[in-house]
Amino acid sequence: MPDETALAQQEPVQPAVRRYALKTAAPARKGLVDYDRDLSDEQRAVALCDARPTLVIAGAGSGKTRALTYRVAHLLETGTPPSSILLLTFTNKAAREMMARVGQLCRVETRRMWGGTFHHVAHGLLREHASRLGYADRFGLLDREDAKEVMASATADLGYGVGQRRFPRPDALIDLYSTAVNTQRPLAEVIATEAPQFVALEEEILRVARRFAERKAQMNAMDFDDLLLNWKRLLVEVPAARESICRRFSAVLVDEYQDTNRLQGEIVDATAAPHGNVLVVGDDAQSIYAFRGAHFENILRFPERYPRCQQLRLITNYRSTPPILALANASISCNRKQFQKELRAHREGGVLPALVPLRDVHQQAEFVAQRILELREEGIGLREMAVLYRAHTHSMELQMELARRGIPFLVRAGVRFFEQAHIKDVLAHLKFIQNPQDELSFKRVVKLVPGIGAASADALWAQVEQWLRMGRDPRTHLDSLTQLVPPKARPGLRALGGALQTLVAIRSQPSEMIRCILDEGGYGEAQQRYANAQARHDDVLQLADYALQAESLEQLLADLTLLDSLEAEDVVEGAEPDEKITLSSVHQAKGLEWRAVFLIWLADGRFPSAPALRAPDGEEEERRLFYVALTRAKDELYLTYPMMQEERDQARLLLRPSRFLDELPAAPPPYEKWSIELAPQHELLEE
């Protein structure tokens, strides 16, 4: 018998291996794309331009996406492998759609192209190279909620935040840290300029930021900001990684270049440095995201950074009528820092934009609502109309008016004004003052006090119920219940009790009650812990201004309850359930278009906003925002502003028209001015 031990020691027989070569996808065949037929002269110049630094200034509605798509197709037709093309966009969806279109045009597989957002591409590159930066394989990725938890842990590690009512919340710290990373500025500078209320806590915040970075490293994890920062580190600190990345991408294309921040701009420059084949597309006149860290100098100084660059322009607008473009061109021409251009209309005809001064904000809401219904009768569907404004607070009265008239609406990219958490907090105070048996409102209010959670709120409510049975008023005795809450919550509960007593005393003045909530009881101070503290404060003041029209607290709360009930109704005859008019801030409307656009609250200090005007170059960015709003309109444009606003002492403040209206040409004006007259009473009855 064979020796089993010897058999076991023999080498196993290896099966024969047959080698099979997998060919790469066939290159695009030249001549499949008809550039002459499919593109305008301007678009064709972009698609077929030389392979060198190229700046494409693409005006609103000029077909830039089409031009960029055909540029990618031309690169493929002329021999550039798909895997060598880097297409950076601001949404992954935009990149997928462009690549799918390119695949159809060239009949080539585009899956090997690198396309998507900066973060998407960075993630792919770091999966290959993160070990060069000290990360272990398979590093974790933190979303915003994960990052907030890590920041909260970093704060707790250092013993900050406990007992310090004004120490920034984790989301506020994340915002500050993110701004520092993306603008490539020291965190201390960001604190001083973006959140001066935290300057006294600068050292503590810097320590927390360092601990935040340490915790992420211990977890072998990156957040979204780390993705970009580490992409730059690979290009700057790791020569082998830089060589690999730059060799991989022989063509770099960037969409919406005017919205890139400083860090993204540096990444683009470093990635394209060896070959200079970089094409960026954007519109300096639509650079409106400085508050998010967008760096206007990226597009403005591109020719200085690339002296050999060619500049191309897409200035034929396929969206708007000539009168709308004439007004937009006249407005943006007032900016000094820009690439001079004038949009040309491809369309013909059209009516003049309407400039409509209104008595006050309530008449403004009435006008917009009535005109919406008239336009609908004229054949423009609700979904083809939008109301735009500088800040969401400007839509409050309009939301009420639309609800009263049963006009369905949606608020784009944000909650409706009265559904915002901080507004519901304020209203909870008012509801409890009106009805001390309102358990939900009571618990919402007391849980705003630091240190009071669900258990303490339940204990407090149990005592309130006992008082109610005894006929005792809980609104004026809450500060006597400090023994029912943890010691750290007692000062806050005493302050809240005092504030509620004040609210009871002034309950006949709902506007003053709202201002009192901001000033007393610790609520206003607690809002300072949020990154958007000023916006929250402004929202509450706007609510206080709105409450001036209410005859009583009961009427104010009844009106707001009525708003909730009317929003669900479909009163407009024949309206489809999904047909709604859009309400949107201008920032959130960028890239969209409607047949009819109403731009409201065009009063100086509101649009442009007073805080923005205090920032360096703030007026020019606000004018660009105005330009973006104008160029959303295809057929009809209405510009409205209230001439007066009621103040808390019932005095009327005279408002000035926006400077963006005053600076428009006077002869001939690029608009038609409307004068509002009240219809006779019998006409109203007939309606």
pLDDT tens digits along 510-556? 888 888 888 776 666 666 667 667 777 778 887 887 788 777 887 78
Other CB atoms closer than 10 Å to residue 299's CB: what's the count?
26
Residues near 335 by beta carbon (within 8 Å), at least 6 away in sequence: 285, 620, 623, 624
Distance CA 214, CA 212 (A): 5
Q: Is the pLDDT of residue 468 over 80?
A: yes
Torsion of CA 46, 47, 52, 53, to 10 degrees: 40
Cα dist from 375 to 265, 382, 384, 595, whole Å:
44, 9, 10, 10
Question: Which pair of tokens denotes residue 328?
Answer: 């937009």
Largest CA distance in the chain: 119
CB 599 within 8 A of CB 389: yes
Q: Which of 370, 275, 319, 291 minimizes the C-alpha distance to 54?
A: 275
Query: DSSP character for 484?
Result: G
Check whether 324 has a pLDDT greater than 90: yes
Hey, which bits of 578-628 come out as E strands?
581-585, 594-599
Contacts of 12 (CB under 8 A, 6+ apart): none
The stretch 121-125 carries a mean pLDDT of 90
Count Cα neighbours of 174 within 13 Å in the Cβ-side half-sphere.
20
Round the average pLDDT of the chain to a whole number and report it. 86
The radius of gyration of the chain from alpha carbons, rounded to an integer in Å, stands at: 30
The token duo for 491 is: 């000062």
Residue 4 binned pLDDT confidence (cut-offs 50, 70, 90): very low
- Give the model's pLDDT for residue 684: 46
pLDDT score, position 565: 44
Q: For residue 114, give the nearest of 82, 141, 91, 90 by alpha carbon.
A: 82
A 10 A CB-CB count for 567 gives 16
Going by C-alpha positions, the residue among 99, 118, 94 that lies closest to residue 298 is 118
- Per the listing, tokens 């294309």 go with 253
Handedness of CA 580, 582, 588, 590 (dihedral sign): positive
Centroid of chain to Cα 41: 34
Answer whether 376's CB lies under 8 Å from 579's CB: no
Average pLDDT for 240-255: 94
Distance CA 461, CA 477 (A): 13
Partners of 278 in the β-ladder: 252
Average pLDDT over residues 186-201: 90
Residue 522, by phi and psi: left (phi above 0), alpha (psi -120 to 50) or beta?
A: left
Kindly tell me if the per-residue pLDDT of 328 is higher than 70: yes
Answer whether residue 270 shows pLDDT above 50: yes
Top-confidence residue, 581 or 516: 581
Average the pLDDT over 143-153 and give the result.
Answer: 84
Backbone angles phi, psi at 646, to 5 degrees: -80, 135
- Using a 10 angstrom Cβ sphere, with 0-12 exposed, 13-18 middle and 19 or more buried, the burial of residue 188 is middle
What span, in angstroms and rounded, lies between the C-alpha atoms of 195 and 362?
34
Cα separation, 84 vs 244, whole angstroms:
12
- The reported pLDDT for the residue numbered 568 is 34
Dig out the tokens for 507 from the structure. 């309950």
The residues with which 672 forms a beta bridge, in sequence order, are: 354
Residues in CB range of 524: below 8 A, 6 or more apart: 517, 518, 537, 540
In this predicted model, what pLDDT tens digit does every residue of 606-631 receive, in sequence order? 999 988 898 888 999 999 999 999 99
Whether the ω angle into residue 239 lies within 30 degrees of 0, i.e. cis, is no
Q: How far apart are CA 630 and CA 394, in angstroms?
A: 17
As a whole number of angstroms, the distance between CA 103 and CA 200 comes to 56
Distance of alpha carbon 561 from alpha carbon 486, whole angstroms: 35
Supply 142's token pair.
Answer: 């933190």
Burial class (CB in 10 A: 0-12, 13-18, 19+), 581: buried
Rounded Cα–Cα distance for residues 87 and 132 (Å): 25
Give SS3 for 660.
helix
The pLDDT, as a whole number, for residue 687 is 45
Cα–Cα distance, 668 to 130 (Å, whole number) = 61
What would the two tokens of residue 404 be? 């009263």
Q: Report d(CA 61, CA 318) in Å as an integer.
A: 6
With a pLDDT cut of 90, the percent of the chain lying above it is 48
> What is the rounded distance in angstroms from the CA atom of residue 615 to the CA atom of residue 632?
26
pLDDT of 109 higher than 50: yes
Query: Distances from the Cα of 37 to the Cαs of 41, 75, 104, in angstroms?
Result: 10, 18, 16
Quick one: average pLDDT of 97-122? 86
Q: Amino acid letter at 147? A: A
pLDDT above 70 coverage of the chain, percent: 88
Amino acid code (one letter) for 558? A
User: In DSSP terms, which residues pair with 605 in a beta bridge?
Assistant: 609
CA distance 486 to 398: 44
Contact in structure between 45 and 129 (CB atoms under 8 Å) = no
Residue-level pLDDT at 277: 94
Nearest CA-CA partner of 283 in 588, 71, 69, 591: 591
Alpha helices by DSSP H, listed for 378-526, are 396-404, 421-434, 439-446, 454-470, 490-505, 510-519, 523-526
The helix (H) or strand (E) run that includes residue 673 is: strand 672-673
Mean pLDDT of 624-649: 91
404 vs 415 pLDDT, higher one: 404
Report H helices in 158-261: 170-183, 187-194, 202-218, 224-237, 239-248
* C-beta of residue 98 within 8 angstroms of C-beta of residue 72: yes
CA-nearest of 185, 182, 190, 255 to 224 is: 182
- C-alpha distances in Å from residue 625, one per residue of 154, 502, 535: 38, 42, 18
Residue count of the chain: 687
pLDDT at 134 over 50: yes
Is residue 74 classed exposed, middle or buried when 0-12, 13-18 and 19+ CB atoms within 10 A define those classes?
Answer: buried
User: Rounded CA gap, 442 and 464, in Å?
Assistant: 9
> How many C-beta atoms surround the C-beta of residue 107 within 10 A?
11
pLDDT at residue number 569: 35
Q: Would the pTM count as exceeding 0.85?
A: no
pLDDT in tens, 408-464: 998 876 566 777 788 888 888 888 888 888 887 888 888 888 888 888 888 898 888
d(C-alpha 189, C-alpha 176), whole Å: 10
